[in-house]
């Protein structure tokens, strides 16, 4: 923790005395390259592949987007406010033979449309990550977000990898950390769930409470009210268990499904199809 604060301090010190301390705007983020070995780990962590569209916010010399195109067959772009770096990145992509799949634009990251991303990468500053967080949470559920060194505050990462012994300009032999988040579907609110079982009707109302990817729920059935068990959300994939306490022994019924906006559907552990519709909430 101390070393991370020192790095933050050193990054800010590089900016000179004119830096506004109270809100670190993106334009204050200095140019420091992610070591290539860390770039490789970040892309592995996100599981980047040929179907991905990767956007790097503050793309420096373009190494993340170029590596994603070259080694993983992905497409994407980087945005960067230093035009010299943008030019060098487009040139490097051309030399690497990936100019059609890796493009770079002289653009402010705060004015960049990131909605096409299936993978978003960044090496910015803690305050900038926090400023971006509300926009990131609006991305398509399942979008992977990887940050070099800085976290997202209270949004717990889905994975975190420490990479030891890498040289960085501001802190020699300083470990790097790569964080991964999977953008969760928005499930907070009340849902009406119907089990589609020929000849046997079963319905329930579930009230989901959500904090980032963490969800809990209360189930209301004709037979009474119970807490949802083992509720888990990863991108658009949801699973939970409902215990019917009126039955003895009370066996949890497992639900596996996917969220599609205001609908979710899937099957139970015993192969019954279920479908739920949002009644209220976002
Ligand atoms: C720490 S470097 C990371 C470079 C590259 N992504 C990497 O990991 O090697 C951050 C980059 O963000 C750029 N940057 C800072 N503010 C920006 C903004 N508002 N819009 C776009 N790029 C910005 C800086 O010029 C710098 O090149």
- Residue 32, classified by CB atoms within 10 Å of its CB into exposed (0-12), middle (13-18) or buried (19+), is middle
Q: Is the CB of 150 under 6 A from ligand 1?
A: no
d(CA 230, CA 243): 11
Q: What is the pLDDT of residue 168?
A: 55
Q: What is the pLDDT of residue 250?
A: 79
Determine the atom of ligand 1 nearest the C-alpha atom of 78.
6
Each of the 282 residues of the chain gets a pLDDT tens digit; together they read 334 434 444 444 443 333 333 344 444 899 999 999 999 999 999 999 999 999 999 999 999 999 999 999 999 999 999 999 999 999 999 999 999 999 999 999 999 999 999 999 999 999 999 999 999 999 999 999 999 999 999 999 999 999 865 555 555 556 899 999 999 999 999 999 999 876 667 899 999 999 999 999 999 988 788 889 999 999 999 999 998 777 777 788 999 999 999 999 999 998 999 999 999 987
Q: Is the CB of 106 under 6 A from ligand 1?
A: no
Q: What is the pLDDT of residue 27?
A: 45
Q: What is the pLDDT of residue 152?
A: 97
Give the residue whose CA is nearest to atom 26 of ligand 1: 31
In this structure, what DSSP letter does residue 260 have?
Answer: E
For CATH 2.40.128.120, the residue range(s) in the chain are 189-280
Report the predicted TM-score, pTM, of the whole model to 2 decimal places: 0.88
Q: Is the CB of 60 under 6 A from ligand 1?
A: yes
β-bridge mates for residue 190, sequence order: 207, 280
Candidates 30, 79, 81: which one to mutate for ligand 1, based on the most atoms within 8 Å of Cβ? 81
Cβ proximity of 60 and 80 under 8 Å: yes
The CATH class, in words, for 2-182 is: alpha beta
Q: What is the pLDDT of residue 169?
A: 54
Q: Token pair 């769930």 is at which residue? A: 193
Q: What is the pLDDT of residue 282?
A: 72
Q: What is the pLDDT of residue 65?
A: 98
Q: Is the CB of 62 under 6 A from ligand 1?
A: no
Give the residue whose CA is nearest to atom 16 of ligand 1: 27
Q: What is the pLDDT of residue 22?
A: 37
CATH number of 189-280: 2.40.128.120
Q: Is the CB of 33 under 6 A from ligand 1?
A: yes
Cβ proximity of 105 and 130 under 8 Å: no
Q: Is the CB of 85 under 6 A from ligand 1?
A: yes
Determine the atom of ligand 1 nearest the C-alpha atom of 56.
6
Q: What is the pLDDT of residue 99?
A: 98
For CATH 3.40.50.150, the residue range(s) in the chain are 2-182
């Amino acid at each position: 923790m101390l070393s991370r604060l020192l790095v933050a301090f050193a990054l800010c010190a590089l900016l000179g005395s004119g830096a506004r301390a109270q809100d670190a705007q993106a334009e204050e983020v200095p140019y420091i390259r992610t070591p290539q070995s860390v770039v490789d780990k970040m892309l592995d962590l996100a599981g980047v592949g040929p179907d991905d569209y990767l956007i790097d916010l503050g793309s420096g010399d373009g190494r993340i987007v170029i590596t994603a195109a070259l080694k993983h067959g992905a497409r994407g772009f980087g945005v960067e406010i230093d035009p010299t770096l943008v030019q060098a990145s487009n040139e490097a992509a051309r030399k690497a033979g990936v100019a059609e799949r890796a493009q770079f634009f002289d653009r402010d990251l705060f004015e960049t449309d990131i909605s096409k991303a299936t993978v978003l990468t960044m090496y910015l500053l803690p305050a900038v990550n926090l400023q971006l967080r509300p926009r990131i949470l609006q991305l398509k559920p399942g979008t992977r977000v990887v940050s070099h060194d800085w976290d997202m505050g209270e949004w717990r990462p889905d994975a975190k990898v420490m990479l030891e012994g890498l040289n960085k300009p501001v802190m020699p032999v300083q470990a790097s950390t790569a964080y991964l988040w999977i953008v969760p579907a928005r499930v907070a609110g009340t849902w009406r769930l119907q089990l589609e079982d020929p000849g046997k009707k079963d319905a329930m109302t579930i009230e989901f409470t959500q904090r980032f990817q963490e969800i809990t729920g209360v189930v209301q059935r004709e037979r009474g009210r119970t807490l949802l068990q083992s509720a888990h959300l990863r991108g658009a994939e949801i699973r939970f268990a409902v215990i019917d306490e009126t039955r003895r022994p009370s066996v949890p019924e497992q639900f596996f499904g996917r969220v599609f906006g205001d609908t979710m559907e899937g099957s139970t552990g015993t192969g019954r199809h279920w479908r739920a519709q949002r009644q209220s909430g976002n």
